[in-house]
């Protein structure tokens, strides 16, 4: 227990009084000795009748007085040293009392250190709060980033799940009985490298035993050949189909690819009105070194004259084939259908441009469109890009106009299976 602050202050005052009296006592002892010495000096200086006796007395008493003075000075120094030590001790005790007063919260001196302490504590607390808030924000950003990544992964999974739930088409190719494996690889590469809304979308491929499985999007509306075999198409429907095919061909030709097997069986439909080119097994990739082909490939009744005759040819062979598809849509069969493949090729090479059997039943716009496609001279034949600007194509309705036609044919096919 510390003594009460009032007792400490009272002791402090008593010590100060005692210390202040010590120099007075020391000087009181020193003062008589100085007076005695002064009197002796005066006696020596005064004239006396008996000079010898006067000098002898002071000379005998002087050493004793000097000795007393030295002793008094020593005591004075010791007293001063003692006083200084007492002062130091007193100052130390005073410092201790101040500390005790602060701890006991008994003096007003506590107010200043406490306010400083509170200010420093407040600043420190604010700094810690800011640091904590910064860490929380950084953590929140990391969590947001992780959440975004997780959400993206979830979207991918949902898309994959949705794709799994959809039907796909699988083309199975027997590699053992294949005469030219190069054609299969060619089809795979063309489908992978060329993606367009008017081309059947390639999804994946698998090697299963001796078979190559090509996984493609499923066209639930069947082929254009199915529609032609079941019903007649209006000119608007013919124009819509032709436009979609031309858009696909324009994309292929812009990428220096020739389809080389455009025919109604390779034009697939979907119940939403989509029209897409399929089967790229006979397609050819043109290069700067080989910008034309001369191999006789394709399906005889749809082959261009330059292909049949073995002349070098380019992308416009696909335009001829599309013109034959146009005649097929009008008359529900291709020219020379009753002929053998060889005879059909001979007729194509020598017979000139195929003609409609009843041209007057159809518009001049349709007849001119077919004429632009079926020019025997390849140089005079229009390109896909030019035909997209033809009046017969530019006046066409959207593909949604094909939906009723495609759905009705699909239902008839399903009914026939029952």
Average pLDDT, the chain: 77
Lowest mean pLDDT among 1-5, 208-212, 335-339: 1-5
Q: Picking from 24-28, 203-207, 292-296, 315-319, which range would have the lowest pLDDT averaged per residue?
A: 24-28
pLDDT digits (tens, 9 = 90+) for 141-183: 776 666 666 666 656 655 655 655 578 888 887 777 655 555 6
Write down the residue that tokens 């632009």 correspond to: 372
Mean pLDDT of 187-213: 84
What element of type H or E holds 275? strand 275-277
Distances (CA, A) of 345 to 274, 292, 304, 308: 32, 20, 9, 6
d(CA 231, CA 342): 29
For the residues 131-139, what does the mean pLDDT come to? 77
Token pair of 195 as six digits: 């993606």
Report for 75-84, 110-119, 217-226: range of highest mean pLDDT: 217-226
Calpha distance 174→32 (Å, rounded): 143
Q: What is the pLDDT of residue 265?
A: 95
Residue 259: the pLDDT is 92
Q: How many CB atoms lie within 10 A of CB 90?
A: 15
Query: Is residue 129 pLDDT above 50, yes or no?
Result: yes
Provide, rounded to the nearest whole percent, the portion of the chain with pLDDT above 70. Answer: 61
Q: Taking 60 as the threshold, does the pLDDT of residue 343 lie above it?
A: yes
Point out the least confidently predicted range of 91-105, 259-273, 380-394, 397-411.
91-105
pLDDT of 373 > 70? The answer is: yes
Please report, for the chain, the start and end positions of each structural domain, with discontinuous segments joined by +. Answer: 5-45+57-106, 124-165, 170-217, 224-417
Are the C-beta atoms of residues 220 and 167 closer than 8 Å to each other?
yes
Helix (H) or strand (E) holding 37, with range, is helix 5-45
Could you report the per-residue pLDDT of 10-60, keeping only the tens digit for each?
A: 555 555 555 555 555 555 555 555 565 566 566 545 544 444 444 444 455
Residue 279, phi then psi, degrees to nearest 5: 60, 90
What's the pLDDT score for residue 4? Answer: 53
pLDDT at res. 262: 96
Q: Do 397 and 223 touch, CB atoms closer than 8 A?
A: no
Q: Which of 226, 250, 261, 279 is catalytic?
A: 261
Q: Are 199 and 193 in contact (CB under 8 A)?
A: no
Between 136 and 362, where is the model more confident?
362
DSSP string, 212-229: EEEEEE--TT-BHHHHHH
Quote the distance between the C-alpha of residue 241 and its chain's center.
Answer: 42
Collapse the DSSP code of 206 into the 3-class scheme (helix H, G, I; strand E, B; otherwise coil) and give the result.
strand
For tokens 């009181």, the residue is 28
The CATH code for residues 170-217 is: 3.30.200.20
pLDDT in tens, 400-417: 899 999 999 999 988 888
Cα–Cα distance for residue pair 221/275, rounded to 1 Å: 9
239-282 pLDDT per residue, tens: 999 999 999 999 999 999 999 999 999 999 999 999 999 988 78
Which architecture, in CATH terms, is 224-417? Answer: Orthogonal Bundle (1.10)
Distance separating alpha carbons of residues 61 and 33, to the nearest angstrom: 12
Is 289 or 239 the better-scoring residue by pLDDT? 239
Whether 261 is catalytic: yes
**Integer Cα distance of 224 and 245 in angstroms:** 11
Mind listing the pLDDT tens digit for each residue in 310-333? Answer: 899 999 999 999 999 999 999 999
């Amino acid at each position: 227990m510390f003594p009460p602050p009032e007792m400490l202050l009272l002791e402090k005052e008593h010590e100060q009084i005692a210390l202040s009296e010590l120099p007075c006592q020391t000087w009181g002892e020193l003062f008589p000795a100085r007076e005695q010495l002064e009197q002796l000096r005066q006696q020596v200086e005064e004239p006396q009748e008996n000079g010898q006796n006067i000098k002898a007395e002071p000379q005998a008493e002087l050493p004793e007085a000097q000795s007393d003075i030295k002793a008094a000075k020593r005591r004075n120094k010791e007293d001063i040293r003692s006083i200084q030590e007492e002062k130091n001790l007193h100052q130390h005790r005073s410092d201790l009392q101040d500390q005790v007063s602060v701890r006991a919260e008994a003096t007003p001196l506590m107010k200043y250190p406490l306010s400083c302490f509170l200010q420093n504590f407040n600043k420190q607390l604010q700094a810690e709060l800011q640091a904590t808030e910064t860490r929380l924000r950084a953590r929140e950003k990391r969590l947001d980033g992780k959440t975004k990544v997780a959400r993206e992964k979830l979207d991918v999974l949902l898309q994959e799940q949705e794709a799994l739930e959809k039907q796909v088409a699988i083309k199975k190719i027997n590699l053992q009985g294949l005469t030219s494996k190069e054609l299969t690889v060619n089809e795979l590469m063309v489908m992978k490298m060329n993606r367009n809304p008017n081309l059947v979308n390639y999804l994946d491929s698998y090697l299963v035993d001796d078979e190559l499985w090509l996984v493609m999007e499923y066209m639930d509306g069947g082929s254009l050949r199915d529609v032609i075999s079941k019903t007649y198409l209006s000119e608007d429907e013919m124009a819509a189909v032709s436009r979609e095919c031309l858009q696909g061909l324009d994309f292929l030709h812009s990428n220096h690819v020739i389809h080389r097997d455009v025919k109604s069986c390779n034009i697939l439909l979907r119940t939403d009105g989509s029209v897409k080119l399929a089967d790229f097994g006979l397609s050819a990739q043109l290069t700067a070194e080989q910008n034309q082909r001369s191999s006789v490939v394709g399906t005889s009744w749809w082959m261009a004259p330059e292909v049949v005759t073995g002349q070098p040819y380019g992308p416009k062979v696909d335009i001829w084939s599309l013109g034959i598809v146009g005649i097929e849509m009008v008359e529900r069969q291709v020219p020379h259908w009753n002929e053998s493949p060889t005879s059909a090729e001979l007729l194509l090479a020598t017979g000139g441009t195929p003609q409609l059997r009843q041209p007057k039943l159809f518009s001049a716009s349709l007849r001119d469109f077919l004429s632009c496609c079926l020019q025997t001279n390849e140089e005079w034949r229009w390109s896909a890009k030019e035909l997209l600007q033809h009046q017969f194509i530019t006046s066409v309705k959207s593909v949604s106009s094909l939906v009723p036609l495609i759905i009705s044919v699909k239902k008839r096919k399903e009914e026939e299976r029952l």
